[in-house]
Structure 1
Amino acid sequence: MEKSKKLVFMTLLIALALIVSACSSGSKDSSDKKGEGSKDKKEFNMIEVAEIPTGDPALATDAASFIVLGQTMEGLYALDKNDKPVPALSDGKPKVSKDGKEYTFKIKKDAKWSNGDPVTAKDFVFAWRRAVDPATGAEYAYMFSDVVKNADKIMNSKAKPEELGVEATDDNTLKVTLEHPVPYLDSLLAFGTYLPMNQKFFEQTKGKYGTNSDNMIANGPFVLKDWNGSGLTWSYVKNDKYYDKDKVNLNKVNVQVAKTPNTAVNLYNTGKADRTAALSAEYAKQYQNNKEASTFEESSSWYLKFNMKRDGKETPLANKNIRKALAMAFDKKAYVDTVLSNGSITSDGLVPRGLANGPKSGKDFREESGNLMSYDVKQAQEYWKKGLKELGVKELTLDYLSDDTETAKKTGEFFQNQLETNLKGLKLKLSNVPFKVRIDKTQKQDYDISMAGWGADYLDPMTYLDLYVTDGGNNQASYSNKKYDQLIEDAKVKYANDSEKRWEKLLEAEKLLIQEDTAIAPIYQRGHLVLIKPSVKNFEEHLFGPDYTLKNVKIEK
């Protein structure tokens, strides 16, 4: 199943990272007789970065929607404070068959929807079938692809939704059949697309489910209220039907969208907000030494993408030496320090650190894979000379495609200066366009070099490495290597039940992609800098899924 729509989601994340969000606990400075938050009321006032596009788990594709789902819904698994998937609506861990292809889950008997209905195994069957049904138009249906039995056939209209490998053997028992063993299934089950759906309530909304808070239902810590479907304000109210409600500290969270960084920062500085979201580069530089500044490393990798075919013809970037030269000719440290200044770190690979550890070594994938493509001007220039000679030219003009934000423009100027200075005969033409245009041009492969990024869908290197299989939906650069394809296939199928050999294949695949073929040029692992008051406790940020969860937040004065 193609994943091209994820590029839109990642672009939205870029935009969201440049806008500031803030929250308020209700200190004396932020409470008054009009109902501002207070410690006694256990209210949390929060400034968000964007409107809610949808409250429908099957249709959610963006950060804002997944954030709402993260506060109001729970699936079989959820993320703990360390981003480890743990049983949520699943009553303990499932029973797994010897071949690793059949999972039997027991649903918590005290799990309820906010209208009092019990959460049953049938709710998962209905939701998952609906998600893979082509008629639904779920862009994230690919999360079931090559995982749950018959999902791909259904999505390609070669089987009916009723043939999906999911069955409710009774109200509290869910049987899931996989195409092959999936080592990262628990983190998939914590993702929004795998959430259950109350069929009766869904049908009562008559096609309006997820369009406003009246047409939504919850089974998680909070219930969404006061959202009219397009407005800039809403609230989360503690769900008194939630099975774990005793651990929810807040009674209410008031949310208001603020679209300018200046507005949100002013709210923080005047005591009306207790936490910001990711600061833009300008504000990150200003506050990086502030005692209330805190950084967080995201599972988000950024790199230069090299297009090897354009209009059906090979581009100069089909030459491996040209790609290697470009990948080694810029100073990553200078970029993250001077342009971003937000807690981002340099990276010499595709898979970010902090994502997964080896089954035998226990080492982080990034550490074990090593530095595959480092800054080395001398070596870059040697590759450049070889590449130009092989192409039979003395100079090259290439275009660099990116967004039209201020940070994107500064980024383009940085790479233009670095690459043109270090590679004699190169002219880099900057093309800064609105993100919708950039996505369209990328999908049509109407570019030479583009700034690209990817965030984890689940906690496994495969969420990054399978992007570049031949004709993959997000390849969009015409990279193709049969050996690479085989390594990915072996890791998915042949060694799915052999964790050590599977890990070896994934390490080998990244080395082939970056060090040998240099299909992309790694730059950095994105981080962000926030300001947070000492009174805010247990605000949990996540590597994937919802950006954060509010279930355990406490306000201490």
Structure 2
Amino acid sequence: MKKTKWFLLLVLGLVLSMFLAACGGDDGDENAGDDTGNEEQNEGENGEDEEKILRILESAEIPTMDPSLATDVVALNFIDATYEGLYRVAPGGEIVSGLANKDETEVSEDGLTWTFHLRDDATWSNGEPVTAHDFVYSWRRAIDPETGSQYGPYFFSGLVKNATEISATDEDGNPLYPDMFGKVEELGVTAVDDYTLQVELVNPAPYFESFAAFPVFVPLNEEFVESQGENFALEVENMIFNGPFVMTEWKHEESWTLEKNPDYWDAENVGLDGIEVSVVKERSTAVNLYESGEVDRVGLSGDFIDQYKTRPDYGTAMEPVTFYLQFNRESAEKAEYMNNENFRRALATGFSKQEFIDVVYKNDSVPANGLVPKEFVKHPETGEDFRDLSGDHLVSDIEGAQEAWEKAKEELGFDEVTITFMSGDTETSKLTTEFFKDQWENNLPGLTVELKNVPFKERLRLSREGLFEVVFSGWGPDYLDPMTFMDLFVTDGSYNDGSYSNEQFDELIELAKTEYAQDQNKRWEAMVQAEQILMDEVGIGPVFQRARSFLQQPYVKNMELNPFGPDFSFKYVTIEK
């Protein structure tokens, strides 16, 4: 989840995935949009006819319900709830069968050809059967340059046969492979028959099962999508679904409603009758809704943690989600400054990471001294955590930051400079930008920081278009491998908003994906070395790894954070009173 795979864009609290996927991550607000749950009571407080309705809160509108265009964790959460792909993520991060039977999937000896055998009893909500042709259409649509997908090229390029040639462009937008550009029919995905899907890879991918469970890989019904044209996925009437739930109402910027899909192939194992979501930005309002019994789970940070942490319904969980500073080295007004390593180093180390956590979050979050979070993934042969192998980088160091700042002043020839710092518009996001302004202006003489707090969807757009100087970003893993973080910052990468570029970094990532794909020792060594280069050059400034604190009613079951992909697997959530 996080650009938020969340970007890592991660929005349960405006973090982006993205979260990303998920995702694109966002500003690190740990709850104002935390997915929270509640039950609607119908016939008596605990009557047998009581529907199991989960009421949850988000701090932002769903930016899109188009699986080809989604990049943030809010969209990915609800696309995962309303669509079914090849596989699905179950509680605890287990990858289980979706439309494809995992036990019947065939993989060639060289790891390059995957054959998926699909169920023949799955249907769309308009009654049409779900077939292998729906996957072919969806994947081609995601890689098609005309679609404008970020996740499509990010996931497919360098992995699925011909994906790079179909979509790759240079920095000016010119096709790198003119003879193949846009020829989506050449993508290495084939419907062998109605219920057999074959995928050809360029290189073996040890994490391809995780890919197959990610929302960008879900099918789409070509006839329906094409009939909707530009209106597809804009409103409820412009969508059909094949997942555990269907969206029945969408009041933009206010709320949306999902209902259990009676035609879903595994409907008997869906634990909820429905989900109701309201957009609430103010933390105090969200907490009051929980206290009044109108929601069943609410995320906490700041003073609310001190107030509620001794209660039995309080919980906390560490996430594999990293938040960091991105410096715009290309299109920003202050690009000359952002291209100076000492200038970036001063910003990346000139504040206290622990004090940031203590002031803004007041929970069990920890300082991040690298890109890949701790306790996310271990070396498949030695069992060593990636974080331990790479070490600590860019730790808080006020004195060292001040030395770097003075060097930057000499190298760039300035005494005073003003920069703009962008983040979200939730309470936590505003506390975040205010904290950095205070620390930077006090620790780095001559620096003035102007704050820019914008709605989540707008922050995604401005970041994607390079319309920022420094932005607070986050990323949660889309799949269970360090690469979900590492290839974010290859030259011209889809989520490399700050335009970081290093040839050796790019070469190491390419080697890890190609020549070393089946040699885990060399592969991990390349990824560790790549992270060390990124940190040594201050390509980004890691800030913290988030722990999520919350209040949750005991009758909400199986609402657990996933270790990768969408934050929650709503199919498995239920209410037991």
TM-score (norm 1): 0.86
Is the 8 Å Cα contact of residues 307 and 449 (structure 1) preserved in structure 2? yes
**Paired position in structure 1 for 2:53:** 44
Is 1:452 the counterpart of 2:462 in the alignment?
Answer: no
Indicate the structure (1 or 2) with the bigger Cα radius of gyration.
1
The answer to whether 1:434 aligns with 2:454 is: yes
Supply the RMSD in Å over aligned alpha carbons. 3.3
Moved more, 154-163 or 330-339: 154-163
Residue 521 of structure 2 corresponds to residue 521 of structure 1: no
1:119 alignment partner in structure 2: 130
Q: How far is 1:429 from its partner?
A: 2.3
1:16-50 Cα offsets, whole Å, 9 max, x none, are: 84345542234xxx5457xx996533422413324
Partner Cα separation in structure 1 for residue 216 and residue 438 of structure 2? 42
Is the Cα contact below 8 Å between 1:43 and 1:254 reproduced in 2? Answer: no
The percentage of aligned residue pairs carrying the same residue is 41
Give the C-alpha shift of residue 282 in structure 1. Answer: 5.2
Q: Which residue of 1 aligns with 2:213?
A: 190
For residues 273 and 39 of structure 1, what CA distance do their matches in structure 2 show? 20
What is the correspondence of 1:180-259 to structure 2 with a 5 Å cutoff? 180-202=203-225, 208-225=231-248, 227=249, 230=252, 232-259=254-281
Q: Secondary structure at the match of 1:428?
A: strand
1:323 counterpart residue number: 344
User: For residues 135-154 of structure 1, what are the structure 2 equivalents within 5 Å?
Assistant: 135-142=146-153, 143-154=155-166
1:417 match: secondary structure? helix
One-letter amino acid matched to 2:542: P
- C-alpha separation in 2, matches of 1:459 and 1:269: 36
Indicate conservation of the 8 Å contact 1:13/1:63, yes or no: no
Q: In 2, are the aligned partners of 1:25 and 1:45 still within 8 Å (CA)? A: yes
The residue that corresponds to 1:270 in the other structure is 292
Is residue 336 from structure 1 mapped to residue 347 from structure 2 by the alignment?
Answer: no
The 2-side partners of 1:206 and 1:401 are apart by 38
- Describe the shift of the 1:212–1:359 C-alpha distance in structure 2 as closer, same or farther (beyond 3 A): same
Aligned with 2:112 (options 101, 114, 121): 101
Does structure 1 conserve the Cα–Cα contact (< 8 Å) formed by 2:28 and 2:323?
Answer: no
1:38 to 1:442, Cα distance in 2 relative to 1, 3 A: same
**How far apart in 2 are the matches of 1:327 and 1:217?**
45
Offset, 1:325? 3.9
Task: Give the TM-score, by structure 2 length.
Answer: 0.83
The verdict on how the C-alpha distance between 1:229 and 1:410 changes in structure 2, with shifts beyond 3 A counting, is: closer
The 1:534–1:316 alpha-carbon spacing in structure 2 relative to 1, beyond 3 Å, is: same
* Alpha carbons 2:476, 2:564 under 8 Å: kept: yes
Distance in 2 separating the partners of 1:468 and 1:181? 21
Q: Structure 2: which amino acid aligns with 1:415?
A: F
Q: How does 1:288-299 map to 2 (within 5 A)?
A: 288-299=309-320
Tell me how many residue pairs correspond in the alignment.
Answer: 545
**CA–CA separation in structure 2 for the residues paired with 1:478 and 1:261:** 34
Cα deviation for residue 190 of structure 1 reads 1.4
Matches within 5 A, 1:71-86: 71-86=81-96
1:82 aligned partner, one-letter code:
G
Say if 1:209 and 1:215, in contact at 8 Å, map to a contact too: yes
C-alpha contact (below 8 Å) 2:27/2:423 kept by paired residues: no
SS at match of 1:467: helix
Residue 169 of structure 1 and its aligned partner are, at CA, apart by 0.9
Deviation at 1:175, TM superposition (A): 0.6
For 1:398 and 1:231, how far apart are their aligned partners in 2? Answer: 34
Corresponding position of 2:512: 491
2:373 and 2:282 map into 1 onto residues whose CA distance is 30
8 Å contact kept, 1:403–1:434 = yes
- 1:538 aligns to what? 558
**2:102 alignment partner, SS class:** coil
Q: 1:310 to 1:120 in 2, by over 3 A?
A: closer
Distance 2:203 2:343 in 1: 39
Q: Structure 1 residue 76: deviation in Å?
A: 0.8
SS of residue matched to 1:475: coil
Residues 52-71 of structure 1: pairs in structure 2 closer than 5 A: 52-71=62-81
With over 3 angstroms needed to count, the CA separation of the structure-2 counterparts of 1:502 and 1:388, relative to structure 1, is same
Deviations 1:456-482 (A, max 9, x none): 333322232223233434434453322
Q: Structure 1 476/249 Cα, relative in aligned 2: closer, same or farther at 3 Å? A: closer
Task: Give, in angstroms, the shift of residue 372 of structure 1.
Answer: 1.8
Q: Secondary structure at the match of 2:243?
A: coil
1:538 positional shift: 0.9
| Greater shift in the superposed pair: 434-443 or 449-458 | 434-443
Q: Is the 8 A contact 2:254 2:278 kept in 1?
A: yes
The answer to whether the 8 Å contact 1:4/1:473 transfers is no
Residues 253 and 442 (structure 1 numbering): CA distance in 2 closer, same or farther, change over 3 Å? closer
For 2:187, the equivalent position in structure 1 comes to 164
Q: Name the counterpart of 1:401.
A: 421
Residue 92 of structure 2 aligns to a residue whose secondary structure is coil
Alpha-carbon separation, structure 2, partners of 1:233 and 1:404: 19
Shift of the alpha carbon at 1:275?
A: 1.6
Kindly indicate whether the alpha-carbon contact (under 8 Å) linking 2:250 and 2:257 is maintained by their aligned counterparts in 1: no
Rounded Cα–Cα distance in structure 2 between residues aligned with 1:246 and 1:133:
37
Structure 1 residue runs without a partner (length 5+)? none
Aligned residue for 1:552? Answer: 572
Q: CA deviation at 1:195?
A: 0.2
Structure 1 CA distance for aligned equivalents of residues 276 and 186 of structure 2 = 42
Which deviations, in whole Å up to 9, do the C-alpha atoms of 1:66-86 show, x marking residues without a partner? 222221221111112122433
Counterparts of 1:531 and 1:4, CA distance in 2: 25
Which of 185, 200, 203 does residue 177 from structure 1 map onto?
200
Please list the CA deviations of residues 271-301 of structure 1 after superposition, one character each: whole Å capped at 9, or x if unmatched: 232222x346454454344331222333332
Deviations 1:167-215 (A, max 9, x none): 1112221110112222222222211111012334445656654344344
Shift of 1:166: 0.5
Quote the Cα distance in structure 2 between the aligned partners of 1:203 and 1:391. 53
Task: Please state if 1:18 is matched with 2:32.
Answer: yes
CA distance in 2 between counterparts of 1:529 and 1:131 reads 35
CA distance in 2, matches of 1:502, 1:494: 9
Q: Given that residues 20 and 280 in structure 1 are in contact (C-alpha distance below 8 angstroms), is that contact kept between their aligned partners in structure 2?
A: no
Inter-partner Cα distance in structure 1 for 2:46 and 2:226? 36
Match of 1:503 among 524, 528, 547: 524
Q: d(CA) in 1 for partners of 2:164 and 2:531?
A: 26
Give me the whole-angstrom Cα distance separating, in 2, the residues matched to 1:192 and 1:202: 17
Matches of 2:48 and 2:290, distance apart in 1 = 17
Residue 294 of structure 1 aligns to a residue whose secondary structure is: strand
Q: Secondary structure at the match of 2:49?
A: coil
Deviation at 1:229, TM superposition (A): 6.3
Is there any run of 5+ residues in structure 2 with no aligned partner, and where?
10-15, 168-174
What SS does the corresponding residue of 1:266 show, helix, strand or coil?
A: helix
Deviation for aligned residue 1:374: 1.6
Q: Using the alignment, how far apart are the partners of 1:333 and 1:89 within structure 2?
A: 45
Superposed CA deviations along residues 381-405 of structure 1, whole A, max 9, x for unmatched, are 4444555555566x45351412363
